[in-house]
């Protein structure tokens, strides 16, 4: 009995594998392709500001942080801050974000402290 059904079982395993493979091998839809951001401003508002304007991360505005430093921190992460790979933010956008942050001013009311 076992001998007689084995080829059938083996065949269905092969068939299942063949059916499963194309699905498994299909590239996952690129949720965050390079160049996804309309502007550095948008990237800042939808990522960085969610931590850096809410007190989760330190204040970055008005500190004239060097753009190179900002890019390094974003790409590599820094302690509690996650790293952002190229799939999350492309070089051109990060470049713009770094310049935006670097040249940003602290808004007036908060500057009174």
Q: Which residues are catalytic?
A: 80-81
Of 34, 36, 51, 75, the one binding ligand HEC by CB under 6 A: 51
CA distance 74 to 83: 5
Residues binding ligand HEC: number (CB under 6 A):
22
Can residue 58 be called a binding residue for ligand HEC (CB under 6 A)?
A: yes
Of 9, 17, 20, 50, the one binding ligand HEC by CB under 6 A: 50
Can residue 57 be called a binding residue for ligand HEC (CB under 6 A)?
A: yes
Can residue 82 be called a binding residue for ligand HEC (CB under 6 A)?
A: yes
DSSP result, 32-97: S-TT--S-HHHHIIIIIHHHHTTTSS---TTS---HHHHHHHHHH-BTTBPP--TTTS-HHHHHHH
């Amino acid at each position: 009995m076992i001998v007689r059904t084995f080829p059938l079982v083996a065949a269905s395993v092969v068939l299942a594998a063949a059916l499963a493979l194309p699905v498994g091998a299909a590239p996952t839809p690129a949720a965050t392709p390079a160049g996804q951001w309309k502007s550095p401003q948008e990237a800042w508002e939808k990522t960085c500001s969610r931590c850096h304007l809410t007190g989760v991360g330190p204040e970055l505005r008005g500190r004239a942080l060097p753009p190179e430093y900002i890019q390094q921190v974003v790409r590599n992460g820094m302690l509690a801050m996650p790293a952002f790979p190229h799939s999350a933010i492309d070089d051109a956008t990060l470049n713009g974000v770094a310049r935006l942050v670097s040249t940003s001013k602290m808004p007036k009311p908060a500057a009174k402290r």
